[in-house]
Structure 1
């Protein structure tokens, strides 16, 4: 018996490996045959076939018992693991299908509170589903979805940019620092998301329409960073109404700033998405619909 060529590796039959494990555990071909509801000659044939595949003698057949060789002990270790994995797969398939992963992208201002409670409820009801949740700017989430890196996304967009499972208007507010207002400064300091951020151009266009000069005083890709910068007096910003905190004051019509009503939320998944993705999407639709009511 020689080494197995690397270019022609053996594929080990689980039935042969089960025969090896049973004989080793029983110490006898006769007892192993009874346990496997087979015959001694059949078990012997399976062990010979396995030894041919392995290229090594795996069992020492003594007068009174059967013991694994050193190589046999190595093969036994792998055989037990392979049989255990086979059992795990069979169990997964018999209990409703193999585990799946849902990759869900959500804007930062939706990444806590009601959303995480809903995700926890979904996980309790679907224990075999692995959730991978990413939060970030809508532009990055949309690009990740288009590349196939996300299965389900909630993103903000210009109204009507793309059709989704459902969409909702996104009320916006102009905000300033409650303790240290900055709107009266010249030029007007703006706290903004990075270039190509969804609200950045709206802010600049609105300030220029008032005939006032402006400057970007603070940039952050984090919603928390934008909220803190405005609250601490670094400038004004344009944010969803839900992101207004006690550290902010809302700039109303008296400021001359326009109402921004061109932003919407849209939920996206592919028509071919797994049923579990569609279940989670339906839960999100209900949650967001209740929030709009």
Structure 2
């Protein structure tokens, strides 16, 4: 009887060894086997369990005691979010479309879409949805976005710190309202996360006021209208305007076209009326305002037609008028980058800030002209 009991114990021990060997071989065939092997060697002794193996699901790596009757989950290790996936998510959120994000990241649209799907599979929630204005953030996407900025910013800061390139200081940036609104604040948020030691002071005003502040030494960098700023820009580029009206707006040819214009000495008004005069289209000024949000509200109310940059068009409530609608080609407007004396793009924080702005405004490098 004792001999039979001993033989049974030996057979049971062998069976358990085979089971553990089979589990280890199965784990080794998975992509995370190398990581799991290292984690098992490091963690198992500290847990004081006789036999451990690792299991990974979509969100965590779990260390289990194979001898426990209930599966014995001892500790769970949350997997890190991949920075390459977070970068694709952040850039898509800033650009508003996968195609624009792909151009900025120098990748194919399919590759960026796959990265976004992988990130959503990893976190287990939908982060982006297609809307009338492109890709919109879901509620979960809004939660993740500031964390993604911080993670990417801390990574860039760590690299600079390790290379002895920690940057501190202050940049005083001036911009006209047409550039400062829209999605540009997201780009400035990304810059602030990457350079936490740099204080960014933003001034939004018209080009005449920005020119005065720049000449007085109150601003370091200005983005504005070259026709209204007294010094020469170091870079200049053009962006197209669009004829914009409320959805459902119908322009009647027999009466003057009602225009919504920017008040004051705005070169856009001159370009807008010159384009209409070139096709002998009668017009009248229905409303003037110095505030962009007031212009946008007047357009949405159906009070008339205005010219706006692409980034300032509210696609859900506004429509772009084309030549088929009886409109002439919309004019181009010029912008310039101006620097205070002693400042240039070669300094790291200023150069990085300009890169964020240029990417957000989607300025092709071929369009930039040095002065």
Do the structures match in fold with TM over 0.5?
A: yes
Structure 2 SS opposite 1:235: coil
In 1: Cα distance, 2:313 partner to 2:351 partner = 31
2:305 corresponds in structure 1 to 236
**Higher Rg of the two aligned structures:** 1
Picking from 305, 320, 334, the partner of 1:250 is: 320
1:268 aligned counterpart, secondary structure: strand
**Partner of residue 277 from structure 1, selected from 350, 355, 367:** 350
Residues 167, 198 of structure 2: 8 Å contact kept: no
- 3-state SS of 1:170 partner: strand
CA distance in 2, matches of 1:268, 1:183: 42
Once the two structures are superposed, residues 164-188 of structure 1 have per-residue CA deviations (whole angstroms, 9 ceiling, x without a partner) of 3433321111122223435547232
Match of residue 265 from structure 1: 335
Map 1:142-291; keep pairs closer than 5 Å.
Answer: 142-157=211-226, 163-182=232-251, 184=253, 186-245=255-314, 246-270=316-340, 272-273=342-343, 275=347, 276-289=349-362
SS at match of 1:273: coil
Partner secondary structure for residue 280 of structure 2: coil
Q: Which residue of 2 aligns with 1:5?
A: none
* Cα displacement string for residues 227-260 of structure 1 (whole angstroms, at most 9, x for unaligned residues): 1111211111111122222322222113443324
Distance 1:248 1:212, change over 3 A: same
Q: Which residue of structure 2 lines up, in the alignment, with residue 126 of structure 1?
A: 195
Q: What are structure 2's unaligned runs of at least 5 residues?
A: 1-163, 367-371
Question: Secondary structure in 1 aligned to 2:293?
Answer: helix
Partner of 1:28: none
Question: Partners in 1 of 2:254 and 2:214 — Cα distance?
Answer: 40
The structure showing larger relative contact order (alpha-carbon pairs under 8 Å, at least 6 residues apart) is 1
Alignment CA distance shift 1:290-1:188 (3 Å): closer
Instruction: Compute the TM-score of the two structures, normalised by the length of structure 2.
Output: 0.45
Report SS of the residue matched to 2:213: helix
Q: Please list the CA deviations of residues 105-157 of structure 1 after superposition, one character each: whole Å capped at 9, or x if unmatched.
A: 12324335542223223323333332211223344334432343221112244
Following TM superposition, the consecutive aligned residue runs of length 4 or more in structure 1 with deviations greater than 4 angstroms are 95-99, 182-185, 289-293
Computed over aligned residues only, the root mean square deviation of the Cα atoms, in angstroms, reads: 3.5
C-alpha distance in structure 2 between counterparts of 1:290 and 1:224, whole Å: 24
CA distance in 1, matches of 2:266, 2:282: 20
User: Contact 1:105–1:153 (CA<8 Å) still a contact in 2?
Assistant: yes
Q: Secondary structure at the match of 1:186?
A: coil
- Give the number of aligned pairs: 199
Q: TM-score, normalised by structure 1?
A: 0.56
Aligned 8 A contact 1:183 1:189 in 2: no
1:225 positional shift:
1.2
- Mapped to 2, the partners of 1:250 and 1:289 lie a distance apart of 19
**Structure 1 residues without counterparts, runs of 5 or longer:** 1-94
Aligned residue for 1:104, secondary structure, equals strand
CA distance in 2, matches of 1:254, 1:232: 23
The residue correspondences of 1:81-160 to structure 2 (distance < 5 A) are 100-112=169-181, 114-157=183-226
2: CA distance, partners of 1:133 / 1:185: 46
2:272–2:331 CA contact under 8 A, matched in 1: no
